[in-house]
Structure formats: C-alpha cells, structure tokens
Amino acid sequence: MAEALILGPADPAYADTVRALNRRFTGKPDEVHRVYDTGQVVAAVARAVRTGRRIAVRGGGHCYEGFVADPEVSLLLDPSGLASVEWDAARGAFAIGAGATLGAVYRALFKNWGVTVPGGSCHSVGVGGHFTGGGYGVLSRRHGLTVDHLHAVEVVVVGADGQVRAVVATDDPADPHHDLWWAHTGGGGGTFGVVTRFWLRSGGTSPETALPAPPAEVWLHAVTWPWASLDRDGFDRLLDNFGSWHERHAASDDPYAGLAAALLVPTRAAAGISLRTTMDATAPDAEQLLRAFVAEVGAGVTPAGPMTRDSGKIAALPEAAAPRRLRWQWANQLAAGSDLGLRAKYKSAFLRRGFTPAQRAAIRASLEYAHPDAQLQLDSFGGAINDVAPEATAYPHRDSVLKAQWQVYWADPADDDRHLAWIRSSYRAVFADRGGVPVADAQLDGCYVNYPDVDLSDPDWNTSATSWTELYFGANYARLQQVKAHWDPTDTFRHAQSVRLP
Ligand SMILES: Cc1cc2nc3c(=O)[nH]c(=O)nc-3n(C[C@H](O)[C@H](O)[C@H](O)COP(=O)(O)OP(=O)(O)OC[C@H]3O[C@@H](n4cnc5c(N)ncnc54)[C@H](O)[C@@H]3O)c2cc1C
C-alpha cells in the first residue's frame, strides 16, 4: 500500500487537485492529502480535527459550486488513490473506492462482469459526489438512479468527543447504522463524513447478476431544428410536444422505458434546438418506436436537419440524423465529455408536467442572448426512478417526468457578471409566480442536489417561502438533520449547502 502523499502549494500535482472543473473555483488549502486506504483517511481527518483545520473532500472535482474550493478549507482530502472496483464476495456486492471516476467504474463493471450502474454520462465525474447525490443517466428510466443500487457505504466520521473512526452502514433496516446509509442515498456529498467505499448491489448475489446489464446495443439519434426555421409557434410546439410525450410515457412498464432523450434549447446565437436520443435497441420494435418518438416531438414543426457541431458547442455530438445502432460500450463513451477549461453556472428544476405557456414565453425571451454556449437542457425522467417511494431514499423527487437544467459556459473571468446575470434572470423569469424558484406543486418539484446552486439560499434570488433545503430534499430534510446530529455532531463536514445541524 502506498504511503499517503501530502502535497503543498509548491508541489507540481497540487494545482491540478485544488482546481475544480468549473474554473470559477480554485481552492487554497495548506495541505492536500492523497490517500490510498481507509486508515490514511482516518489519520488525515484526525489531523484536521487535532489542529483545528477546516476539511473538505474532492472526488472528481465536478461540483457546480465552490464547496470544495472554499477559501476556509485548509486540509483537502484527495481519495483518488482509493479507486478500485472489485467484487466483494463476503458482502455479495461490488466494492467501489470513493476516489473512482464514473468512466473507470463503467469500464471495470462492464468488461469484467457485463453489468453497469445507471449513472451519468460524463466519465470524469467522481463517484464521491455523484453517488451521494442521486446519480442519474440514460439508463435511469429503465433502472432507476444509482442510489437505488446502493447496498452499503464505508464512512469516516467524527464523534462529539473528536474521535475519528470508520463505520460501515448498510441498507439492512436492522443495521444500527442504517440511517447513515440512507443519508448517502441522496443527502449530497461533503455533509456527514468522508466516504471511502461504496458497495453496490440490487439483484442477485453473483457478480453477473448483482447489478443491471446494459442493453447490448442502442440506437443513437440527434437532430436539430435550425432557429431560422422555427417561428414562435414552432418553438412552443417543440417544448410542448416534448413535455406532453413524457407525461404520457412515464410508467416503468411503458414500451419506451428504454428511451432517454435530451432536448437542448440553446440561445439564438447557436444553430437551433436539438433532440438527442438514446434507445435500447434490444427492446421490441425499438427502431420504429424511436422514429415515432422523434416524429411526435417534431409534430407540427418544420422538419429537423442533422445535428452538427455548429448546433452549439455544448450540444455537439457526432451527426446521427438517421438512427445509428451502436454497441452500448461505444455509445456510452461518445458522451464521455472533456475538460475545456471553462467557467460555468447551472440551475435545475424537476417537472411533474411540461412547461406552461407563460413559462415557455419566459424561456423564449431569455434565449435572445448573444452567446452561443448557454442553454436549457431538458432530460427524460420518470420510468423506474418513479417506482421508488420518496422517503425510501434521501433523494425525494420520485414523480417527475422531466429534469430541466440551465447552463452557461464562458472562458474569460471578465464576463462573469454578465453570464451570471443572464442565467439568474432567465431562471427567475420562468418561476416568476413562485418567488423565482421551482417550488413544489402539481407541476414542479424543486431542485437536484447534484446540480447545486447557491442562489437558492440567497434571499435576492429565492423570494419564495420555500428554503433551499426543501427544494433539494422535500420532506426528507428533517430526517437528514437527525442523521447529521448523530453522525457529525460537531459539523466537521460542512459547506455552503450541507445539511445543517437541527
Ligand atoms: C460535466 C458534468 C456532467 C454531469 N453529468 C451528470 C449526469 O449525467 N447525471 C447526474 O446525476 N449528475 C451529473 N453531473 C453532476 C454530478 O453528479 C455532480 O457534480 C457530482 O457532485 C460530482 O461529483 P465529483 O466527485 O466529481 O465532484 P466534487 O466536486 O469532487 O465533489 C462534489 C461534492 O461531493 C463531496 N464529495 C466528493 N467525494 C466525497 C467523498 N468521498 N465523501 C464525502 N463527500 C465527497 C465534495 O466534498 C463536494 O461537496 C455532472 C456534472 C458535470 C460537471
């Protein structure tokens, strides 16, 4: 076992570890501890407690906000040395080191055992943040969220007396640590302790059956409706068709459970609105179903053309205007993503129904913005995600049919104010009648904790009576606070939107 590596600002590897993917955020810790086993994590946390240092953990560095890069953090834990993906025969589950990235997990699970987890598409996302916040991807309508496959977690925690220890918490309701497991099914990263290992299992007790198998092949399809061909009515129809289709096909036994689509709605400075679809090619009549879906989304709108790299930099995918059939592992890698060194800001909303006419009008108005790398992305939701009760996991959003994500990317820090102003005002306008945020009601259901947004805690931007805690966690917040009080009574693990002590 390698010795823990302690890096300071003079070490060449330091800069890469303290810098987040989102270039708005770079930390300044005195020490970075690169750790390779649980004992080293216990030692590093004990050192932080003993010396009164604020601590944070970095997983894949993909956090949307600057939680890890907080200037008050002086000891940063980097568990990238704890990244193995193994079959643990004793637990009958896959043991995944908390420093692994999604891409490494997908490769190891599929190559060795033919199975997968229904996680996100970006391969450099870390499991440390992703698994603790929910973990959604193109297989989620078929197989639920990643947390729906979480069997156990090992967490390094700090007691009221300052003692540091590692505990294993499982999904067994008889486990005295069960609540700590539950808090890791959507309570978000950086709140209860340092996760060192996740165990995943949802099926049988052999490695080939413990997790779902991905479809052997999928259809990929991507088209764009150019702005030049979209009048006001065409814009409204696209959004309305996409929303109503998802309302009608949200059941997990629907023939379309194997379909996941993203409607990418960029500003008018990009080429047009794109529809990117993945469909399980092994499902009965898959190709016909896919073609019918694309036709329904585009019904009443000028026919779409091929999606090209000009369709907006962030929307780029290889052309697939005619459906292309690919093996799962290749399709999965196409969307793997890369670090373009950009600054970014994001916002989210869950939708139980499609957008209202007033919301569509607000979205349309916000797209008159002379910057091509800004968009609203609408993702397919529902299916197996909604078969789980909202209180069964800490992640509560179990009856939405769409997930909406506003995004803006830029390179020059001098442009921060203008792009932040754009995304803030665009979002506020859509939810103008609810205090600027997607307060839960018959149509909306709050925000995704894995897409954190500090504006939700800012009274200037959230003028509703609904706090950020309720937007992320709904009725589950009270139980999360109890878990926090029990397992992190000194609030050692905290950030701008971590679960608060009761
Ligand atoms: C390009 C991109 C694509 C994405 N795609 C998807 C997607 O398809 N689906 C989806 O659901 N989400 C997606 N996300 C969101 C992603 O799930 C979250 O940003 C996630 O929190 C990132 O985890 P990380 O470990 O990479 O980030 P980090 O910034 O390293 O960590 C995020 C938070 O988790 C904490 N944390 C990390 N490791 C640990 C640990 N071991 N123990 C305790 N706390 C820890 C950190 O302290 C921090 O608070 C995407 C994000 C990006 C940037």
DSSP per residue, 423-482? HHHHHHHHTGGGTSS---SSSB----TTS--GGGG-TTT--SS--HHHHHHGGGHHHHHH
Could you tell me if 418 and 370 are in contact, meaning their C-beta atoms sit under 8 angstroms apart? no
Q: What pLDDT does residue 315 have? A: 42
Q: What pLDDT does residue 309 have? A: 53
Q: What pLDDT does residue 320 have? A: 61
The atom of ligand 1 lying closest to the CA of 121 is: 8
Nearest residue to 235 (alpha-carbon basis) of 58, 70, 366, 384: 366
Partnered with residue 259 across adjacent β-strands are: 279
Q: How far is CA 185 from the centre of its chain?
A: 13
- 421-to-345, 426, 428, 430 alpha-carbon distances in Å: 10, 8, 10, 14
Q: Where are the beta strands (DSSP E) in 186-256?
A: 194-200, 217-226
* Residue 133, ligand 1, Cβ within 6 A: yes
Tokens encoding 378: 């609408």
Q: Which residue has the higher pLDDT, 451 or 224?
A: 451
Q: Which of 201-210, 221-230, 289-298, 330-339 has the lowest mean pLDDT?
A: 330-339
How confident is residue 312, by pLDDT bands cut at 50, 70 and 90?
very low
Could you tell me if 406 and 423 are in contact, meaning their C-beta atoms sit under 8 angstroms apart? yes
* Residue 136, ligand 1, Cβ within 6 A: yes
Distance 281 CA to ligand 1 centre (A): 30
Q: What is the H or E stretch that residue 501 is in?
A: none
The atom of ligand 1 lying closest to the CA of 127 is: 25
Q: What pLDDT does residue 308 have? A: 59
Tokens encoding 495: 């950030």
Q: What is the mean pLDDT of residues 361-368?
A: 98
Tokens encoding 450: 């894995």
Query: 87-213+479-487 and 217-475: same fold?
Result: no
Q: What is the mean pLDDT of residues 377-385?
A: 98
Other beta carbons less than 10 A from residue 318's beta carbon: 11
Q: Is 471 exposed, middle or buried (0-12, 13-18, 19+ CB in 10 A)?
A: buried
Q: What pLDDT does residue 368 have? A: 97
**What is the residue extent of each domain of the chain?**
5-80, 87-213+479-487, 217-475
Burial string for 76-111 (b: 16+ CB within 10 Å, else e) reads: bbbbbbbbebebbeebebbbbbbbbbbbbbbbbbbe
Distance 266 CA to ligand 1 centre (A): 24
- 485-to-159, 172, 393 alpha-carbon distances in Å: 10, 21, 18
Distance CA 244, CA 443 (A): 12
- Rounding to the nearest 10 degrees, give the CA dihedral for residues 137, 138, 144, 148: -30
How confident is residue 316, by pLDDT bands cut at 50, 70 and 90?
very low
Tokens encoding 153: 């977690």
Share of the chain above pLDDT 90, in %: 91
Q: What pLDDT does residue 314 have? A: 38
CATH of domain 217-475: 3.40.462.20
pLDDT in tens, 384-417: 999 999 999 999 999 999 999 999 999 999 999 9
Q: What is the mean pLDDT of residues 458-487?
A: 98
Nearest residue to 193 (alpha-carbon basis) of 50, 36, 49: 49
Distance 440 CA to ligand 1 centre (A): 24
pLDDT in tens, 157-174: 999 999 999 999 999 999
CATH of domain 87-213+479-487: 3.30.465.10
Q: What is the mean pLDDT of residues 279-291?
A: 96
Could you tell me if 377 and 263 are in contact, meaning their C-beta atoms sit under 8 angstroms apart? yes
How confident is residue 332, by pLDDT bands cut at 50, 70 and 90?
confident
Q: What is the mean pLDDT of residues 87-106?
A: 97
Distance CA 331, CA 321 (A): 15
* 453 has pLDDT over 90: yes
Phi, psi torsion values for 331, nearest 5 degrees: -60, -40
What is the DSSP code string of 265-316?
Answer: EE-TTSSEEEEEEEEETTSTTHHHHHHHHHHHHTTTSPPPEE--TTS-GGG-
* Residue 82, ligand 1, Cβ within 6 A: no
Distance 149 CA to ligand 1 centre (A): 17
The atom of ligand 1 lying closest to the CA of 452 is: 19
Tokens encoding 444: 């909306």
Q: What pLDDT does residue 313 have? A: 41
Distance 364 CA to ligand 1 centre (A): 30
Between 286-297 and 232-248, two packed helices, what is the crossing angle to 10 degrees? 140
Q: Which of 47-51, 97-101, 250-254, 303-307 has the lowest mean pLDDT?
A: 303-307
Residue with CA nearest ligand 1 atom 9? 120
Distance between the two ends of the chain, CA-based, in angstroms? 40
Q: What residues contact residue 276 under an 8 Å CB cut-off, 6+ apart? A: 221, 222, 261, 262, 264, 307, 315, 317
Q: What is the mean pLDDT of residues 274-296?
A: 95
* 35 has pLDDT over 50: yes
* Residue 121, ligand 1, Cβ within 6 A: yes
CATH fold of the domain at 5-80: 3.30.43
* 318 has pLDDT over 90: no
